[in-house]
Amino acid sequence: GDSVTQMEGPVTLSEEAFLTINCTYTATGYPSLFWYVQYPGEGLQLLLKATKADDKGSNKGFEATYRKETTSFHLEKGSVQVSDSAVYFCALSVVVSTGFQKLVFGTGTRLLVSP
Amino acid sequence: GAGVSQSPSNKVTEKGKDVELRCDPISGHTALYWYRQRLGQGLEFLIYFQGNSAPDKSGLPSDRFSAERTGGSVSTLTIQRTQQEDSAVYLCASSLVRTGGNYEQYFGPGTRLTVT
């Protein structure tokens, strides 16, 4: 079945360091891919998405490129800030009926950024 | 505008008791989804609603779980005879529905259920 695998955390970085969080997926068909973020004490928020191969999603300095050949959607940021400390979830969408999709999530990666 | 709200935010219950979790979606969102997040695991899809109808209940973990939605709005997830393995954060999401598109699911803050 469809699944998402992402690197285990926590990932601990100093401010201004480069961030990569790996995500690979297994899916039939051509799913959309997402990164969601959960800040401490808050709900899940969509960070970025890509709907087809070679698309690049970007938001708040974060980027991820939909790589069909490697079935990957790695999250990157050139210079992290303390405020980026959160749990990051990679997800793909599976159509359950016309217009409706469920999300299949990875286990989440906690990012801790120190000053 | 108002986002997705869930209540209660925390619930501690004794094993064997029934619990009801509530979700208030964003106004006008036809689609409503329930997910579960157990400690150390990813979010697990439970059920979705098209309006008031749940076409596929196969994601519910057992027959102790049920869900309903009324008036195309509020949804309740009921767990009967709770077990310790039901302890998790239960998340609700809602979205618009249009054919041929990918629409963002907006998540509520979740209900943390602890079964003792």
* Interface probe, candidates A52, A101, A109, A110, chain B, greatest B C-beta count within 10 A: A101
Predicted confidence (pLDDT) per residue in B65-116, tens digit: 999 999 889 999 999 999 999 999 999 999 987 665 567 889 999 999 999 9
Residues lower than pLDDT 50 in chain A: none
CA distance B17 to chain A (A): 27
**DSSP strand pairing (B111-115 vs B10-13):** parallel
What secondary structure letter does DSSP report for A60? Answer: T
Instruction: List C-alpha distances in Å: A16 to A40, A89, B43.
Output: 20, 21, 30
CB contact under 8 A, B48 and A106: no
Mean pLDDT of all residues in B27-31: 90
What's the CA gap between B13 and A50, in Å, rounded? Answer: 40
Task: Give the three-class secondary structure for B67.
Answer: strand
CB contact under 8 A, A99 and B98: yes
What's the CA gap between B51 and B48, in Å, rounded? Answer: 9
Predicted confidence (pLDDT) per residue in A74-90, tens digit: 999 999 999 999 999 99
B8 touches chain A (CB under 8 A): no
pLDDT at B115: 97
pLDDT at B2: 80
Who has greater pLDDT, A94 or B33? B33
Which residues on neighbouring strands pair with residue B11, listed in sequence order?
Answer: B113
Task: Give me the total of CB pairs closer than 8 Å, taking one residue from chain A and one from chain B.
Answer: 64
pLDDT at A45: 92
Residue B1 has pLDDT above 60, yes or no: no
Q: What is the residue type of B9?
A: S
Mean pLDDT of all residues in B17-38: 94
* Interface probe, candidates A34, A45, A103, chain B, greatest B C-beta count within 10 A: A103
With a CB-CB cutoff of 8 Å, which residues 35-94 of chain B face chain A? 35, 40-45, 48, 50, 55-56, 59, 91, 93
pLDDT band at B48 (very low <50, low <70, confident <90, very high): very high
pLDDT at B100: 59
With a CB-CB cutoff of 8 Å, which residues 22-81 of chain A face chain B? 32, 36, 42-46, 49, 51
A1 touches chain B (CB under 8 A): no
Which residues on neighbouring strands pair with residue A35, listed in sequence order?
Answer: A48, A90
CB contact under 8 A, B31 and A99: yes
Which residues on neighbouring strands pair with residue A86, listed in sequence order?
Answer: A111
pLDDT at B97: 78
pLDDT at A81: 97
What is the widest separation between alpha-carbon atoms in chain A?
Answer: 47
Nearest to A115 by CA among A84, A86, A82, A83: A82
